[in-house]
Amino acid sequence: MRLLVTADLHYNHARSRPVAIDLIDRMNQAGGDALLVAGDTAVADGDWLERCLERFTIRGPRLFLCGNHELWTHSADSHALFTEDLPRRVRALGWHWLEGDPWIGGDIAVVGTMGWYDYTFASPALAIPKRFYEAGMSPAAAEYLKRGDLLGDRADIPESARGVMARWNDAKFIHLHRSDETFLNQRLADFSAGLNAAAGARHLVAATHCVPYAELLPPRKSNQWEFARAYLGSPKLGEVISSHANVSHVFCGHSHFPAQARLGRIDAVNIGSGYGWKTFCELEIGTLADNEG
């Protein structure tokens, strides 16, 4: 089977859409036996998601993972979007909703989760207290926004953190009604169950939207970018993947930075698409069942 994989199309974004269209055209021309889109296709509000997915003409299984941007909304409950609305919409287009529902064909299985973050990847050099990550804003941003509830007496805010001006907009546009760590633990439980269900497959591909291994993170940049590292994923995702002996390949996105790593028996790839550029990967693996094509 020849599997095509991409992520972070951000189709609703004006700058991103033309390069996403070009990428989709190139993927359609390249062909393939199956397709995996690993999150951040488009926000749920409006019909951008449908408009993007309908552009793909590749026949065979089309596998979809949600990303954090699908949960951005101005009015709706993001958790209800994730558990009810988005799965319905994606399936109505003829795509396979991969979260909690592994795809198995022939001797191949693809298991996926959006994953989430728990601030484990936060930069230790900044030493920003956890409450700022929970609020999605750095100490300088909290100062600007007059968030006295976060600043307190400032005694635990080191000098290294006080000048960092940054926000993480998931905190503004996503409404999960539970902590990030609780949501991640729910994703980990479903992901592990899916990997167990697919354990009999000879070839097992794991996919996450958020980054599962530190080796797939982008290089260190400015303090603003360092603040964002807290939201790029969690090593707990990698621990779940690595605990399943027959996983051979892992794909992720989210960070907009391409990376590859050989981690024991696992070939791990961060797709690396960004707003101004798009990429896709091809994987030749196993044999696709005749009734799956």
How far apart CA 121 and CA 117 sit, in angstroms, is 8
Give the alpha-carbon dihedral of 238, 66, 107, 242, to 10 degrees: 0
Average pLDDT per consecutive 10 residues, the chain (293 residues; last block may be shorter) = 96 97 96 95 96 95 97 92 97 98 94 98 94 96 94 89 94 96 98 95 96 96 92 98 94 97 96 96 75 29
- Work out the number of other CB atoms within 10 angstroms of the CB of residue 248: 16
Residue 248 DSSP SS3: strand
Beta carbons of 203 and 107 less than 8 angstroms apart = yes
How far apart CA 271 and CA 211 sit, in angstroms, is 10
Residue 293: what pLDDT? 26
Axis crossing angle, helix 180-197 with helix 235-242, rounded to the nearest 10: 20
- Give the list of residues 6+ apart from residue 38 with CB closer than 8 angstroms, or none: 5, 6, 7, 65, 67, 112, 207, 208, 209, 251, 252, 253, 271
How far apart CA 110 and CA 129 sit, in angstroms, is 37
pTM of the predicted structure, to 2 decimals: 0.94
Residue 34: what pLDDT? 95
